[in-house]
Structure 1
Amino acid sequence: MACLDSLLDGSVDWQFFYYDARLASFTDEWPHRSANLLPEKMAAAGFYYDPDNTVRDNVTCPFCLKSLMGWEFDDDPVVEHSKRKDLCYFARLQKEEEEWT
């Protein structure tokens, strides 16, 4: 229900439900270049880039609203998402947008 509440109160932008918008959020400011943390993999794991003044590698899931930071080069964003928020429907389903019904 947190996801619906967040949409209704405007705290999350619905566009980030879609891969292309999540991917586009990763600007040149994204500090990681390792293969595991490429923007494509982060967006596929459900995250959009959500930095603030103090944390340059913060990402947020628009589905469960979990934010993660402090990424290490060998982290797997899918695994980290699932470990940190086991109730996230996006992380649990891991379906392509075309498969959503």
Structure 2
Amino acid sequence: MDAFGEEHTKMYIYENRLKTYVGWPFEEGCVCTPENMAKAGFIHTPTENSPDIAMCFFCLKELEGWEPEDDPEKEHKSHSPSCNFICLKKGVTDLTVEDFIKLQKEKQKFHIKKAGKEDITKFEEAAKRTRVEIIKTAKDEE
């Protein structure tokens, strides 16, 4: 398993997700506490411009613009209803080996789909740039 896969497999464990919430911008008393975020499957993936970005370790759905009253579990289900992690009917520690293998298979599908979309976007952007260069070269030759 690659480093990305190993790191994200560790994220099945609630405590590992919770540890990512260093610098989370919300205080106690809010619904979207680090504890509730981690319970909903989110890991904290802040950027300089967006300190409240959280991503589901499983389906890779990223959400930002959190409000103190946002319920992480409801938001997760609303924005990614097909995420198998948020739809689990039992705790991770209660999963059988068969359950875990099925989950891992579904998780890989999310990762492959996301990587494919990113590659397609990069290809389309490169194609647009190349087309502009070809047109410019053709005009220069006239």
Q: TM-score, normalised on structure 2?
A: 0.60
Q: 1:59-78 alignment to 2 at 5 Å?
A: 59-78=54-73
- Name 2:129's counterpart in structure 1: none
Q: 1:14-25 alignment to 2 at 5 Å?
A: 14-25=9-20
- Name 2:25's counterpart in structure 1: 31
- Render the CA deviation track for 1:6-64: whole Å, top value 9, x for unaligned: x758376322221110001111x110114311111110010011101211000111110
- Name 1:43's counterpart in structure 2: 38
- Name 2:53's counterpart in structure 1: 58
1:79 corresponds, among 74, 77, 81, to: 74
Q: Aligned AA for 2:26?
A: H
How far 1:92 sits from its partner (Å)?
1.2
Q: Which ranges of 4 or more aligned residues in structure 1 deviate by more than 6 Å?
A: none
- Name 1:98's counterpart in structure 2: 93
Aligned residues: CA RMSD: 1.9
Could you say which structure has the higher helix fraction?
A: 2
Q: Aligned AA for 2:83?
A: C
Gaps of 5+ in 2: 97-142
Q: Does 1:88 align with 2:83?
A: yes
- Name 2:107's counterpart in structure 1: none
Change (3 A) 1:62 1:42: same
Q: TM-score, normalised on structure 1?
A: 0.82
Provide the identity percentage. 35
Identify the range of structure 1 (7-16 vs 67-76) with the bigger mean alpha-carbon deviation. Answer: 7-16
- In structure 1, what is the Cα distance between the partners aligned to 2:90 and 2:35? 15
